[in-house]
Structure 1
Amino acid sequence: MGAGRQRAFRGSGWRSPRPGPEARWSALPRFAALPVGVVVIVQAVVLTVLSGRYGFHRDELYFVAAGKRPDWGYVDNPPITPWLARASTALFGETPMGLRVVATLLGMATVVVVALMAREFGGGRRAQLFTAVATALSTYVLAVTHMLATNTADTFLWSLVTFFGLRLLRTGDGRWWLAVGAAAGVGLANKWLVLLLLAGLGVGVAVAGPRRVFRTWWLAAGIGVAVVLAAPTVLWQASHGWPMLTVAGGISEDDGVENRVLFVPMQLVYLSPVLVPVWIAGLRRTLSDDRVRWARALTIAYPVVCVVLLALGGKPYYSVPLLLPQVALGAEPALAWLARVGTVARALTGVATAVCVAVSVLIGLPVLPATALGPVLAVNKEPGEQVGWPEFTDAVARAWASIPATERDTAVIVTSNYGEAGALEHYGPARGLPQPYSPHMSYADWGPPPDRLVGPVLLVGGHERDSPAAHLITGCRAVAKNRTVEGVDNDENGTLLSLCTLTEPWSTAWPKLRQFY
């Protein structure tokens, strides 16, 4: 970097007079639109080609069902992801490939935003390209952009909030609070975890500055934008007794210990082991490079978020979107290191990178036959949850056919979880099955079955002997057991199908059967 350009870049810091908007913008390198564009086009092609492999994930089946029942909220998540599912299937068809178009678009947008962060840190063409490739090929991004999940939109929205926040910190232009507020408001309408990001960045600015960004009325305006956008979702949750907090508490209680034990190791593998030195270099860079000292709040935000998640027993992947900006920060130091080291070190780095990319692809994308998923499921169980739903529905159809024809008009199918219900709702009509019911998550709100249905209960999945359902649904007789296609080990392999009897009307039994997790 030339001396004149270096002075211009430093002039955007907080110890020097702030230049005008044009000068601050000209201090940045040009956006590498062509190479980054090539990366996202290749990313789109790969994700699209593989989007029809295996089948729907159980969560996707749930989001498709929720999208058909549009609301301002659901028991376990705000509305954005179900709305995206509704839009994508309406435009491109209710198939895995049609649903996942929106996931692919979100993945592409994430790569572009993270590459823009590299530019924000002064990274030129090579640093932006490096960041784009690293982001697109990271295990976590591959996994969450292959399918539509709340994390798919969340990764993009966290990146967007962070990018706007970085623009605010670098330029000192308070108007960026409006963009931060808008992105945060949409983020709150998708998943409330964005509050962790805001808290982490807020603590970072309070500790490391530049604190002057808090001394502007634009902050209040940004908060106002976020509140307006998030208000319908918050009001829905309040009017329904804050069910998302109940779900979160159950997750922490059931999985909190495991999440805490795995938290640190999983931070090292979720993106890719080969990227660990890169994002660590990013964490260190704001402490050693005066050109990016304005971004120290970002360096502080990541450990703050991790500490909070450890205390709450949150899932290890919740903090991963905050590692992507660290990769953008570490791109220049990583490239500088590669330029300094010898041929042998570069060759070894290349081999390690190739191995890690291959592992990321195998774990994050459906490239293996279903019969070969065993080793992958030990690391990432999500591919297994995309296998066997049509065959599962066939098994339920056979069990339904075992009910005498004279009793089917008053019989009911009740599933133990939303994935089973979503599969039967999607695949069941073609097999002659009626509308399924489930007391799980938002499916509980979409019930109960009519009280006139007093016939046999086809119970999918069973219930615990000491559960509230034990005295409400009794006399269960197993009639079949589901086996997943080719023996893939997922949550539905071995699911029991039983014929049972209901002991009281559905209208009074349903609230007692409700399950939040």
Structure 2
Amino acid sequence: MINSDLGPPPAGASVPATGPAKFATVPVAAFAYVPVVAIVSALAGVLTALSWRYGFHRDELYFLVAGDHPAWGYVDQPPLTPIVARATTAVFGDTPAGLRVASTLACAVTVLVVALVARELRGGRRAQVIAAFSAATSVFVLAVGHMVSTSTFDMLAWVVIAWLALRLLRTGDGRLWVAMGAAVGLALENKYLVGILVAALLVAQLALGPRQVLRSRWLGVGVVIAAVVAGPNLWWQAAHGWPEFTVASGISADDGLENRLLFLPMQIVYLSPLFVPIWIAGFLRLWRDPELRWARAMALAYPLLCALVLLAGGKPYYALPLLLVLLAAGCEPVARWMRDRRRVWTVVAAGAVTIMVSGLFSLPVLPPNALSVVNAINKEQGEQVGWPELTSAVAAQWAAIPAEQRSRAVIFTANYGEASALVRYGPRYNLPMPYSGHMSYADWGPPSDAADGPVLVVGLQGDDASEQFFTGCRQVGRVDNGEGVDNEEQNAQIALCSGTAKPWSALWSGLRHY
């Protein structure tokens, strides 16, 4: 749409009957269905072909266990991702490949929507194709598309919300608030991070306009829909004392300084260094181009969002989905620049380099024993290696416990990844269900006080920590993933303790941690 305060609408522009009188429709190019769908299909094919590699990520194992404990919420996340994980494996198989059908589909739709964003911002067919290709080959999109994570669906939700917001601003059709409300509500059922996106977009819209869209009666309808969709989880969080904020504050306390120092470099790396000129061009185009003045607030929203993430000490990738919108905005200038055929080969070469580098850092293409090359940039690669080996190491020490003591013995782990791996792979060794005080495992209950026998403790660091809760502890083993991958569990201690310092029910609150 075009704000009438900036001058009369272009010749031939029509005013929609359902929209405010101050908005005029802006024509958009035809959608480049064939090439965009080809890119999306190729992406889905690559992700599917590699989906079985390495194994489950620690978070994926956790989502599957959480899905077996259905609830309106968990201390560290809303319920959507565990629900999706359980539903996907029920349909496509309880394997990494079966689970990752969900992430593949979410990633493919994300790329499709990024192309639609480029189209909404008056990008022609070539610009739409460049946008789809750029999104499909970025480090961040590939990384979260390979495995199921809350960020996978958060990325999709953000670009959908941004696309709907741009359509609303272009057309002035207030009914789009309904769809935006539903999208925000679903996003809140996955991750609360969408709240800072909504805040940034709202402040930017109030500052730069056009403000007419905020006076639509449909805005109230959208707010109600968002509240209804997100309501059950928000109620759960309120009833449990908002543990999600405790988790978030812990992330900030532990990693806040590092996150702030790495914020700008990681913005560049996670998307792709070769894409920096494109998203900078997109920001400048949104800010300066008179034809896109109606979308200027989207440019301001990005630095506002970055400020909020930096203030909170959040992780650098939190702002990445909105950077995809700036990337889409910059694809039309690139398309114009490529009209000189001599420059096409420069773009083709840059695209080939991007594919190789992004694939190397995001996808499981290297042998596991070579992952040290990429772990510094994307440590999530390494977190997909070694879970069966961890379980085997624990099983060996469990077998060393005298048979007559095992009925009263307990396996206790330091974190949810270890516990979830034992849930997944433990049955093949006849291991009992493990316990942990980490995240939602603490809510799933302590062992019975009658379990007063030996405790096999996995991953707890430091003798003082062990002696505070357990007695007679001695190290009996270490975890070795067999590939030399320096991940979080490599060389984790396995200790055998003679018992607990107090009954489990008395210890449990002290063992809870985030």
Aligned residue in 2 for 1:434: 432
Question: AA paired with 2:77?
Answer: N
1:93-172 to 2 correspondence within 5 Å?
93-172=93-172
Verify the 8 A CA contact 1:12 1:170 in the aligned structure 2.
no
Structure 1, residues 213-256: CA drift from partner, whole Å, max 9, x if none?
11122111111111111111111011111111001001000100
**Cα pair distance change 1:249/1:123, threshold 3 Å:** same
1:414 to 412, 415, 429: 412
* In structure 2, C-alpha distance between the alignment counterparts of 1:50 and 1:363, rounded to whole Å: 14
* In structure 2, C-alpha distance between the alignment counterparts of 1:288 and 1:269, rounded to whole Å: 26
Aligned residue in 2 for 1:4: none
* In structure 2, C-alpha distance between the alignment counterparts of 1:339 and 1:310, rounded to whole Å: 39
Greater mean alpha carbon deviation, residues 187-196 or residues 458-467: 458-467
Alpha-carbon offset, residue 339 of structure 1: 2.5
Aligned residue in 1 for 2:243: 243
Alpha-carbon offset, residue 335 of structure 1: 1.6
SS class of match (1:247): helix
1:19-418 to 2 correspondence within 5 Å?
19-20=15-16, 27-340=27-340, 343=342, 347-418=345-416
SS class of match (1:445): helix
2:472 to 475, 489, 494: 475
Greater mean alpha carbon deviation, residues 18-27 or residues 390-399: 18-27
Structure 1, residues 52-111: CA drift from partner, whole Å, max 9, x if none?
000000000000100111111111111111111011111111110011000001001101
Verify the 8 A CA contact 1:111 1:132 in the aligned structure 2.
yes
Alpha-carbon offset, residue 124 of structure 1: 1.9
Compute the TM-score of the two structures, normalised by the length of structure 1.
0.94
Verify the 8 A CA contact 1:12 1:171 in the aligned structure 2.
no
Structure 1, residues 282-301: CA drift from partner, whole Å, max 9, x if none?
00002332221111111000
* In structure 2, C-alpha distance between the alignment counterparts of 1:310 and 1:16, rounded to whole Å: 41
Question: AA paired with 2:474?
Answer: R
Aligned residue in 1 for 2:447: 449
Structure 1, residues 364-386: CA drift from partner, whole Å, max 9, x if none?
10001111111111111111000
Verify the 8 A CA contact 1:416 1:462 in the aligned structure 2.
yes
* In structure 2, C-alpha distance between the alignment counterparts of 1:19 and 1:245, rounded to whole Å: 46
CA RMSD of aligned residues (A): 1.8
Alpha-carbon offset, residue 36 of structure 1: 1.2
Alpha-carbon offset, residue 473 of structure 1: 1.4
* In structure 1, C-alpha distance between the alignment counterparts of 2:15 and 2:52, rounded to whole Å: 51
Verify the 8 A CA contact 1:13 1:170 in the aligned structure 2.
no
Verify the 8 A CA contact 1:92 1:98 in the aligned structure 2.
yes
* In structure 1, C-alpha distance between the alignment counterparts of 2:419 and 2:135, rounded to whole Å: 35
Alpha-carbon offset, residue 171 of structure 1: 0.8
**Cα pair distance change 1:11/1:441, threshold 3 Å:** closer
Question: AA paired with 2:255?
Answer: D
**Cα pair distance change 1:346/1:106, threshold 3 Å:** same
Structure 1, residues 155-181: CA drift from partner, whole Å, max 9, x if none?
000011111111111111111111111
Alpha-carbon offset, residue 338 of structure 1: 2.7
Greater mean alpha carbon deviation, residues 415-424 or residues 285-294: 285-294
Question: AA paired with 1:374?
Answer: S
% same residue: 53
Question: AA paired with 1:487?
Answer: G
* In structure 2, C-alpha distance between the alignment counterparts of 1:423 and 1:42, rounded to whole Å: 32
SS class of match (2:436): coil
* In structure 1, C-alpha distance between the alignment counterparts of 2:101 and 2:425, rounded to whole Å: 21
Question: AA paired with 2:469?
Answer: L
Verify the 8 A CA contact 1:154 1:190 in the aligned structure 2.
yes
Verify the 8 A CA contact 1:11 1:19 in the aligned structure 2.
no
Alpha-carbon offset, residue 354 of structure 1: 2.2
SS class of match (2:392): helix
Verify the 8 A CA contact 2:2 2:26 in the aligned structure 1.
no
Alpha-carbon offset, residue 452 of structure 1: 1.4
Verify the 8 A CA contact 1:89 1:98 in the aligned structure 2.
yes
Matched, 1:489 2:477: no
**Cα pair distance change 1:465/1:46, threshold 3 Å:** same
* In structure 2, C-alpha distance between the alignment counterparts of 1:243 and 1:154, rounded to whole Å: 20
**Cα pair distance change 1:94/1:284, threshold 3 Å:** same
**Cα pair distance change 1:228/1:12, threshold 3 Å:** farther
Question: AA paired with 1:411?
Answer: A
* In structure 2, C-alpha distance between the alignment counterparts of 1:471 and 1:372, rounded to whole Å: 39
Alpha-carbon offset, residue 32 of structure 1: 1.5
* In structure 1, C-alpha distance between the alignment counterparts of 2:44 and 2:124, rounded to whole Å: 24
Alpha-carbon offset, residue 357 of structure 1: 2.1
* In structure 1, C-alpha distance between the alignment counterparts of 2:170 and 2:4, rounded to whole Å: 6
SS class of match (2:330): helix
Compute the TM-score of the two structures, normalised by the length of structure 2.
0.95
Greater mean alpha carbon deviation, residues 30-39 or residues 392-401: 30-39
Alpha-carbon offset, residue 21 of structure 1: 6.5
Alpha-carbon offset, residue 150 of structure 1: 0.3
**Cα pair distance change 1:436/1:380, threshold 3 Å:** same
**Cα pair distance change 1:200/1:419, threshold 3 Å:** same
* In structure 2, C-alpha distance between the alignment counterparts of 1:386 and 1:13, rounded to whole Å: 55
Question: AA paired with 2:140?
Answer: Y
**Structure 2 unaligned spans of 5+:** none
Structure 1, residues 394-418: CA drift from partner, whole Å, max 9, x if none?
1110010010011001100000000
* In structure 2, C-alpha distance between the alignment counterparts of 1:507 and 1:113, rounded to whole Å: 50
Question: AA paired with 1:96?
Answer: P
Question: AA paired with 1:108?
Answer: A
Question: AA paired with 1:206?
Answer: L
Verify the 8 A CA contact 2:130 2:331 in the aligned structure 1.
yes
Alpha-carbon offset, residue 29 of structure 1: 1.4
Verify the 8 A CA contact 1:28 1:119 in the aligned structure 2.
yes
Matched, 1:506 2:513: no
**Cα pair distance change 1:237/1:464, threshold 3 Å:** farther
* In structure 1, C-alpha distance between the alignment counterparts of 2:52 and 2:65, rounded to whole Å: 19
Question: AA paired with 1:222?
Answer: G
Question: AA paired with 2:231?
Answer: A
**Structure 1 unaligned spans of 5+:** 1-8
**Cα pair distance change 1:473/1:394, threshold 3 Å:** same
